[in-house]
Amino acid sequence: MANKLSPIAPEWLKVPGDINSIDAKVWPANVKRDSNGELLVAGVTVDELANQFGTPLYVYDQDDFMARAEGIKIALQDAAARIGTTAKVYYASKAFLCTEIVSWVDQLGLSIDVASGGELAAALAGGIDPARIGLHGNNKSLTEIGRAVAAGVGAIVVDSEIEIERIASVAGAQDKVQAVRLRINTGVHANTHDFLATAREDQKFGIPIADAPALVAKIRADRHLKFLGLHQHVGSQIFSSDGFIESTRRLIALHAQLLSGGDIPELNIGGGFGINYKPADNAPSVAKVAFAITDAVAAECSRLGIKVPALAFEPGRALVGNAGITIYNVGTIKDVKITDGAEPATRKYVSVDGGMSDNARPALYEAEYHTVLASRTSKAVPSLSRVVGKHCESGDIVVLHDYLPADVSPNDLLAVAATGAYCYSLSSNYNWLTRPPVVAVQNGQARLIVRGETEADLFARDVRYQAAHAGSASRNEKG
Ligand SMILES: *Cc1c(COP(=O)(O)O)cnc(C)c1O
């Protein structure tokens, strides 16, 4: 079969040899088709999941998450051990956070990063030792800092000069010494989509290298603060180690310079390891990137004649992205004729019962996803398709470019791969859609871990509605 079936298909999109195949590169380890061709997640069919919990539905393969996260922890620890040091691994919880996943992270012995009072509350409620929590954010409120210090978080990442005084005063008032890191903007562009590249000069995060020595001196001079070390986060969905390495070199040069003022136990290299969203992607393994980073750390430390510090990493997406999928029900279908190109073409628009409210990434970043017909297999020819949601925006797209069988029909179930990170956490109630439930599947058992929203949840914050229904609600409560 030709590599390119449709004249409007992007170059990277190959016509699948088998439209029903499940590519291990993007799907959770325990997703496969059963003997009827239906998609199974850890032994539970998508039909059973849809019947029990409804659609759209976020589904996590729990064993896949545990194995993937453990593998990444070991890869980062091995990479550190190779150069004679250790690695602390923080799960960047903004990728996907509920108390259940905090308990998984806890079982794995990982640490956890939070970036707001709400995320801190969730991490604490999940039962993880506060000493294993790191607090981030470029605009932490005094209340948030106060809660973090009172809880005894292991580290707060300082993102601006004014935060040094804020954290010190809060720690002083609580008669505590708070460990802090200083986030540095090394000015390195990570090799990724522009909106995701965070370590550049013209953006809000971190402190320029030139300003760091004065700020570190200020931290060191305060008896309520303890300087843990420098921090960077160079971006997200990074495939090449080059940006990581260049930024890390600059960070180590600064680290070496600061050693004249005292010991610095740690160096936090951040997260951002890329994953495969679609079969055409070739994300390097975390082990490969980690080895390249730690080799550079060792070389740079030896060149500067300094001791290799203890390292910390903060992967989010790499732990959880490929462990989760979304199941949708197909509603309407349109074959849209496109006549303004060099050759006339057709794109099949397949509308599902969710959209940008449960996956904002295509609308935000033009992120690409991969989908398959999940409730059955098909012998039909591949048809260039776009999976779209039900919102009032033409940018409401779930899968921009993929092939689906030409006979995809209303009430078929679709599964979209690699939705485990930044989908639930970026979800919204746009168009008054209720947020989908989240289930974890393991050994043939599906377990609700976050219930779906109901319309009553949406009305719960509507003051006029509540005032109008207050009487009947209390009558109902009294039975
Ligand atoms: C978002 C974030 C991460 C995690 O990024 P991923 O791309 O999910 O690995 C790590 N550190 C910081 C400071 C972040 O903001």
Assess contact for 418 and 275: CB atoms under 8 A. yes
Closest CA to 7 of 428, 403, 344, 417: 344
Among 267, 292, 321, give the residue marking a domain's end. Answer: 321
When pLDDT is averaged across residues 122-135 and rounded to a whole number, the result is: 98
Residues 253 and 340 in one domain: no
The ligand 1 atom at the shortest distance from the C-alpha of residue 422 is 8
CA of 201 to the centre of ligand 1 (A): 18
Supply the range of the domain harboring residue 361.
31-61+322-458
Q: If we measure between CA atoms, which residue out of 164, 160, 166 comes closest to residue 144?
A: 166
Q: What is the reported pLDDT for 479?
A: 41
Whether 190 and 206 share a structural domain: yes
* Res 202: pLDDT: 77
| Final residue belonging to a domain, choices 271, 304, 321 | 321
Q: So what's the pLDDT on residue 138? A: 96
How many A from CA of 152 to the centre of ligand 1? 22
Cα–ligand 1 centroid distance for 236 (angstroms): 7
pLDDT reading at 478 higher than 90: no
Q: Would you state the pLDDT for residue 200?
A: 65
Q: Which residues of 214-236 are buried (b: 16+ CB within 10 A; e: fewer)?
A: ebbebbeebebbebbbbbbbbbb
Q: Is residue 251 part of a domain?
A: yes
- Residue 40 CA, ligand 1 centroid: distance in Å: 31
**What distance in Å separates the CA atoms of residue 453 and residue 435, rounded to the nearest whole number?**
5
pLDDT tens-digit series, residues 313-333: 999 999 999 999 999 999 999
Residue to mutate, 314, 317, 322, 425, ligand 1, most ligand atoms under 8 Å from C-beta: 314
User: Are the C-beta atoms of 105 and 134 separated by less than 8 Å?
Assistant: no
> Best of 94, 195, 419 to mutate for ligand 1, by most ligand atoms within 8 A of CB?
94
Least confident window among 2-16, 208-222, 273-287, 413-427: 2-16
Are residues 215 and 231 both part of a single domain? Answer: yes
- Which atom of ligand 1 is found nearest the CA of 315? 9
Claim to verify: residue 234 and residue 255 sit in the same structural domain = yes
Distance in angstroms (rounded) separating the CA atoms of residues 84 and 378? 53
Catalytic positions are 392
Q: Which residue among 90, 93, 236 is best mutated to probe the pocket of ligand 1, counting the most ligand atoms within 8 A of its Cβ?
A: 236
CATH of the domain at 292: 3.20.20.10
User: Whose C-alpha lies nearest to ligand 1, atom 15?
Assistant: 233
130 CA distance to ligand 1 centroid (A)? Answer: 19
Per DSSP bridges, beta strands 155-158 and 133-135 are parallel
Residue with tokens 């992967």: 315
DSSP string, 313-366: E--SHHHHGGGEEEEEEEEEEEEEEE-SSSS-EEEEEEEES--TTT--HHHHH-
Q: Is the pLDDT of residue 427 over 70?
A: yes
Please report the DSSP string for 22-69 in residue order. Answer: --TTTS-TTEEE-TTS-EEETTEEHHHHHHHH-SSEEEEEHHHHHHHH
Q: 388 and 268 share a domain? A: no
Region 204-216 average pLDDT: 96
Average pLDDT over the chain reads: 95
CB 151 within 8 A of CB 114: no
Does the residue 225 lie in any domain?
Answer: yes
Q: Are residues 91 and 166 in the same domain?
A: yes
* Separation of alpha carbons 101 and 154, rounded Å: 19
pLDDT band at 195 (very low <50, low <70, confident <90, very high): very low
pLDDT at position 2 is 47
Count of domains for the chain: 2
Question: Is residue 57 situated within a structural domain?
Answer: yes
373 strand-pairing partners: 414
385: β partners: 348, 402
Candidates 233, 237, 251, 419: which one to mutate for ligand 1, based on the most atoms within 8 Å of Cβ? 233
For residues 130 and 109, give the distance between their C-alpha atoms in angstroms, rounded to a whole number. 13
- Atom 1, ligand 1: residue with shortest CA distance: 92
Phi-psi region of 444 (alpha: psi -120 to 50; beta: other; left: phi over 0): left
Q: Give the span between the Cα atoms of 341 and 10, in whole angstroms.
A: 13
- pLDDT over threshold 70, residue 224: yes
User: In ligand 1, which atom is closest to the CA atom of 90?
Assistant: 10
Helices (H), strands (E): how many in the chain? 13, 21
- 10 vs 1: which has the higher pLDDT: 10
Q: How many residues does this entry show for the chain?
A: 479
Last residue of a domain, one of 321, 343, 364: 321
Residues 352 and 283 in one domain: no
Pocket (CB within 6 angstroms of ligand 1): 92, 94-95, 113, 136, 233, 236, 270-273, 314-318
Residues 6+ apart with CB under 8 A from 221: none
Residue 304 burial (CB < 10 Å; 0-12/13-18/19+)?
middle
In which region does residue 411 sit, left (phi positive, over 0), alpha (psi from -120 to 50) or beta (all else)? left
Average pLDDT over residues 76-90: 98
* Beta bridge partners of residue 286, listed in sequence order: none
Exposed / middle / buried, residue 12 (Cβ in 10 Å: 0-12, 13-18, 19+): exposed
How far, in Å, from the CA of 455 to the mean position of ligand 1?
33
**Which sign, positive or negative, has the C-alpha torsion 143, 144, 147, 153?**
negative
- For the chain, percent of residues with pLDDT exceeding 90: 91
Residue 345 Cα to ligand 1 middle (Å): 40
Ligand 1 atom 10, closest CA: 271
What's the CATH code of the domain at 55?
2.40.37.10
**What pLDDT is stored for residue 203 in this prediction?**
82
Q: Ligand 1, closest atom to CA 236? A: 7
Kindly report the pTM of this predicted structure. 0.95
Classify residue 187: in a domain, yes or no: yes
State pLDDT tens for residues 14-68: 999 999 999 999 999 999 999 999 999 999 999 999 999 999 999 999 999 999 9
Whether residues 104 and 198 fall in one domain: yes
Query: Which candidate, 313, 258, 293, places its Cα nearest to that of 134?
Result: 313
